[in-house]
Amino acid sequence: MTDAKTKTAIVTGAGGGIGRAIARRLAHDGFAVIVADRAQGPADETVALIQAEGRQARAEVLDITDEAATQALIDGADDLRVLVNNAGIFDVKEFDKLTADDFRRMYEVNLVAMATLCQQAARVMPEESRIVNLASRAAFGARNYAHYVASKAGVAGLTKALSLELAPKQITVNAVAPGVIETDMLKARSDSLADMKAQQPTGRLGSPEDIAHAVAFFAHPQASFVTGQVLIVDGGRSVGGTAAF
């Protein structure tokens, strides 16, 4: 258990990539971070990095689609002030090859599990708490992963709906929608990173830290009048156009 005097933040999918960067940033901001992941090793690595910087963190291993496990996660968090729903899945598949089960699997992890965690957390969070969901720029349209696009569009809609539902409790609900971020998940795709960079107005891909900074803004006490927003963090790619040559 964490020190009851220390505000707690839960970050799901924090065993690497964007989730790890978010966990480290929130720890730097003074939260005791619960690093939630489905794999023990990566979660422990994130905790070790945070503790090496003199910050508080501990690991919790669970499947976020297991409601009993997520309830136990929430119950074990002292003074929970921030929930970051980062965990999710992604794969590339052409639309005419997608099955109903592909959509169901994507929705169960990326949307239903998130909604459940939000519900469980909101029941115990005090006023002025924060929920930050990870959406995606892909929610506004992309080829070859319609099931993922649909699930992330659902995240954007859920975020807006919950911002109204939880406004009476002064709990803000916002989302960060990353663009192309250089993570292990991205590198596993068949797309060329060089081609992706060429399509970026800034001429570079995003880093996990870019997303962590945006999440930290929504989690900050001074962001109390910002709710129901979906912040696109994509280096300007959603505006249109490519890097100048």
Residue tagged 């109204």 (tokens): 164
Residue pair 120/72 in contact by the 8 Å Cβ criterion: no
Joined together, the tokens standing for residue 23 give: 């966990």
What pairing do the DSSP bridges indicate for beta strands 32-37 and 8-12?
Answer: parallel
* Residues whose CB is less than 8 angstroms from the CB of residue 234 and which lie 6 or more positions away in sequence, other chains included: 137, 177, 178, 179, 180, 206
Q: What is the pLDDT, as a whole number, of residue 191?
A: 59
Look up 145 and say whether it is catalytic. Answer: no
Q: Which of 200, 46, 214 is nearest to 134 (CA)?
A: 214
Taking 50 as the pLDDT cut, the residues of the chain under it are 1-4, 190, 243-245
Q: What is the pLDDT, as a whole number, of residue 77?
A: 98
| Topology of domain 8-236, CATH | Rossmann fold (3.40.50)
Residue pair 156/175 in contact by the 8 Å Cβ criterion: yes
Domain definitions of the chain by residue range: 8-236
pLDDT tens digits along 96-123: 998 999 999 999 999 999 999 999 999 9
Residue pair 156/177 in contact by the 8 Å Cβ criterion: yes
Joined together, the tokens standing for residue 64 give: 């976020």
pLDDT tens digits along 40-55: 999 999 999 999 999 9
pTM: 0.92
- The one catalytic residue among 122, 148, 158, 212: 148
